[in-house]
Chains A and B, each alone.
Chain A
Amino acid sequence: MTTQIGPGTGEPPRPPLPPALSEPPPPRVNYLNVAYGVKSWLLTTDHKRIALLYLASVTLMFFLGGAFAVLIRLELVTPAGDLVQSETYNKLFTMHGIIMVFFFLIPSIPAVLGNFLIPIMIGARDLAFPRLNLLSWYIYVFGAAFTVYALVSGGVDTGWTFYAPYSTTYSNTHVIAAGLGIFINGFSSILTGLNFIVTIHRMRAPGLTWFRLPLFVWAHYATSLIFVLGTPVIAITLLTVVLERALHLGIYDPRLGGDPILFQHLFWFYSHPAVYIMILPAMGVVSELVSCFSRKRIFGYPVVAMSSLAIAVIGFLVWGHHMFVSGQSTYAGLIFSFLSFLVAIPSAIKVFNWTATLYKGSVSWDTPMLYAIGFVGLFTIGGLTGLFLASLGLDVHVTDTYFVVAHFHYIMVGGAIMGYLGGIHFWWPKITGRLYPEMWARVAAVIVFAGFNLTFFPQFILGYLGMPRRYHAYPEEFQVLNVMSSAGASILGLGYLLPMIYLVWSMRYGPKASANPWQAKGLEWQTASPPITENFERQPVVPEEAYQYAPESEARVV
């Protein structure tokens, strides 16, 4: 794809870690203590500091979105709509969706871990456009402020999907403010993706060829493609909704001959790939974790790398599977169903390769690995239930029911958040220079896994029984499963609070971390914990393949 710098692939094997790079003496200054004060953070162009700004802001949004989820689950404990009014309930699930999707899940891994790690992983001093990176964060904050304004001024009740004509004509809530918030936030995503693409193309260290890149970087490259090519479409779509409300343009208005289904096409053209924005980076994290904690190169590295690109590309062609019963033509449904089944294959390939990586490995059960194994399990369930929804005749029954709710939470919460938490734990020593308490972390990981399944598995059954989503009140026969789900949610909530507590605690009291506490491979472990502002004392050179845990000469092909 681009001209290569440095040595090619056919060179003699080298010792796994060149001693000069393996344990640099801990530098007196690092990116955290190089400067103090609010200004040194708010005007920083250091990608690592910007990553921490994102970490703080997405965490805030996560707990805000989580608070809405708590209220939703509380309301659903009883069949009657008794805790809050219908209007309020509708606003709760809308704000939960908007905040979690646009302000937590989409930026979480790319803007926090990706921002922090991509330059280090490729041996660069920063992203290609550091000030643009800071601008992305400000745009994010500005967009979030709009959305929070919509929230405090009375809320929005359209659902995060903003379907016309409800959003354009009938809702009398703050659709314009929320729509503008998401519109603005979109540019944050676009600029982040642009920055990653240019950085990965142009700033790799000498010797770091495409097929030596960590899979985390491959996943973020694929994600960035979606950021850049998909996000603008949701931006313009929400802008048309805002204009239709504010100026009475009539693009989706059936009274003028406009077609509300066109809105759905444009909306899902981005919003389905957006699911891959959430899951691809998590897959990248899991590839790193599985490799490090079995001390083996990922089984079938090139296939796993390419499957990320395949998911990103095919993922753009399946949006119509959200619209099988919408009035989209039957034959269009046929095409979209077929393509949706195709996109299942690269996902399956990844799962099989991760599993095979453990074979004859040296598997440790540290917390990040627990999250990785949890991810593979939950993602498998999420992916397999995706087949139910991609299947035309079955989707008719389960679409817009709790089956869909359960499915996408398995992907987004079971998948993306497990990956995010695994990654946060894995790179925590690198980010903060401190170790977290391992025992607490394992307990939390198990609680999250158990709570998650208890929350969302019953929803599959609820959905097949026919409980529609976004219902404030429901028939009594659905109560038992709803109570189970709410009970699980309280466990899950506890599981999310624990890391919040011990990770913050560890920043001050945790033991100091060495440069490479996991004995992992990858450039980020060859620099100090925490790294210096320029990331490396000297320009690193990459002489070997990724994840070279043992000399290449020993490798065998099964």
Chain B
Amino acid sequence: MSSSEHIVSPVVYVGVFLALMALTGLTVFASTVDLGMWNTPVALLIAVTKAVLVVLFFMHLKYSSRLASLAVGAALLWLLLLIAGVVADYLSRGWVGSPGT
């Protein structure tokens, strides 16, 4: 167990803050451009980047124990399992050929 605490410099916080603001602007801008099928992935990618910045620096995950990362990883994995399982049903509906199969 690490007992000493990592003090993050406010410069880092401000840097992360500026990046988050910039990414917010970017995602609004990107939504106005027709990227074809890529609009949604780009929006999600930007959101994930922002979330990672918040988690790593504002929430100190970068400086926390591995267990905290494990909790985050488990949550994301389970969220994916939930969505993947449900989506698997909707995407494969009707493959057999009659309605409701």
Which residues of A have CB within 8 Å of B81?
A: 316-317
Bound state CA distance, A457 and B41, in angstroms?
Answer: 53
Q: Is B85 an interface residue (CB 8 A)?
A: yes
| Pair A329/B85 contact, Cβ less than 8 Å | no
| Pair B67/A2 contact, Cβ less than 8 Å | yes
Bound state CA distance, A327 and B91, in angstroms?
Answer: 13
Residues A332 and B92 in contact in the complex (CB < 8 Å), given A3-B1, A201-B67, A317-B81: yes
Which residues of B have CB within 8 Å of A3?
A: 1
Q: Is B75 an interface residue (CB 8 A)?
A: yes
Q: Which residue in B67, B75, B82, B89 is a CB contact (below 8 Å) of A332? A: B89
| Pair B78/A316 contact, Cβ less than 8 Å | yes
| Pair A330/B86 contact, Cβ less than 8 Å | no
- Over the window 51-76 of chain B, the binary record of Cβ atoms lying under 8 Å from chain A Cβ atoms (1 yes, 0 no) is 00000000000000111001000110
Which residues of A have CB within 8 Å of B94?
A: 329
Q: How far is the CB of A316 from chain B (nearest CB, A)?
A: 6
| Pair A265/B1 contact, Cβ less than 8 Å | no
| Pair A265/B86 contact, Cβ less than 8 Å | yes
| Pair A329/B82 contact, Cβ less than 8 Å | no
* B65, closest chain A residue (CB): A2
Q: How far is the CB of A229 from chain B (nearest CB, A)?
A: 5
Q: Is A22 an interface residue (CB 8 A)?
A: no
Which residues of B have CB within 8 Å of A229?
A: 74-75, 78
| Pair A327/B100 contact, Cβ less than 8 Å | yes
Q: Is A1 an interface residue (CB 8 A)?
A: yes
Bound state CA distance, A208 and B100, in angstroms?
Answer: 54
Q: Is A335 an interface residue (CB 8 A)?
A: yes
Q: Is the interface of A mostly helix, strand, loop or mixed?
A: helix
How many chain A residues touch B (CB < 8 A): the figure is 24
Q: Is A379 an interface residue (CB 8 A)?
A: no
Which residues of A have CB within 8 Å of B86?
A: 262, 265-266
Q: How far is the CB of A510 from chain B (nearest CB, A)?
A: 43
Q: Is B29 an interface residue (CB 8 A)?
A: no
| Pair A1/B67 contact, Cβ less than 8 Å | yes
Which residues of A have CB within 8 Å of B88?
A: 329, 331-332, 335
Q: Is A320 an interface residue (CB 8 A)?
A: yes
Which residues of B have CB within 8 Å of A233?
A: 82
Q: Is B101 an interface residue (CB 8 A)?
A: yes
Q: Is B95 an interface residue (CB 8 A)?
A: yes
* Most B C-beta atoms less than 10 A away, residue of A1, A225, A229: A229
Bound state CA distance, A418 and B1, in angstroms?
Answer: 40
* B97, closest chain A residue (CB): A330
Which residues of B have CB within 8 Å of A266?
A: 86
Q: Is B7 an interface residue (CB 8 A)?
A: no
Bound state CA distance, A269 and B74, in angstroms?
Answer: 16
Which residues of B have CB within 8 Å of A265?
A: 85-86, 89
Task: Give chain A interface residues in 301-333, CB to chain B under 8 Å.
Answer: 316-317, 319-320, 327-332
Which residues of B have CB within 8 Å of A316?
A: 78, 81
Q: How far is the CB of A208 from chain B (nearest CB, A)?
A: 15
* B86, closest chain A residue (CB): A265
Bound state CA distance, A331 and B90, in angstroms?
Answer: 10
- Over the window 386-400 of chain A, the binary record of Cβ atoms lying under 8 Å from chain B Cβ atoms (1 yes, 0 no) is 000000000000000
Q: How far is the CB of B91 from chain A (nearest CB, A)?
A: 8
Bound state CA distance, A441 and B92, in angstroms?
Answer: 54
* A339, closest chain B residue (CB): B85
- Over the window 1-32 of chain A, the binary record of Cβ atoms lying under 8 Å from chain B Cβ atoms (1 yes, 0 no) is 11100000000000000000000000000000
Q: How far is the CB of B95 from chain A (nearest CB, A)?
A: 6
Q: Which residue in B1, B82, B96 is a CB contact (below 8 Å) of A330? A: B96
Q: How far is the CB of B76 from chain A (nearest CB, A)?
A: 11
Q: How far is the CB of B100 from chain A (nearest CB, A)?
A: 5
Q: Which residue in B65, B67, B75, B95 is a CB contact (below 8 Å) of A331? A: B95
Q: How far is the CB of B27 from chain A (nearest CB, A)?
A: 26
Q: How far is the CB of B94 from chain A (nearest CB, A)?
A: 7
Bound state CA distance, A330 and B92, in angstroms?
Answer: 8
User: Hey, which bits of chain A sit against chain B, CB under 8 A?
Assistant: 1-3, 201, 225, 229, 233, 261-262, 265-266, 269, 316-317, 319-320, 327-332, 335-336
Given contacts A316-B78, A332-B92, A336-B85, 10 further A-B contacts (CB under 8 A): A229-B75, A229-B78, A269-B85, A316-B81, A319-B85, A329-B88, A329-B89, A329-B93, A330-B95, A332-B89
14 A-B residue pairs with Cβ-Cβ distance under 8 Å, sorted by A, are: A2-B65, A2-B67, A233-B82, A262-B86, A265-B85, A265-B86, A269-B82, A269-B85, A317-B85, A328-B89, A329-B88, A329-B91, A329-B101, A332-B89
User: Hey, which bits of chain B sit against chain A, CB under 8 A?
Assistant: 1, 65-67, 70, 74-75, 78, 81-82, 85-86, 88-96, 100-101
Question: Ordered nearest first, which 6 A-B pairs have the shortest CB separation?
Answer: A332-B89, A331-B92, A329-B92, A329-B93, A229-B78, A330-B96
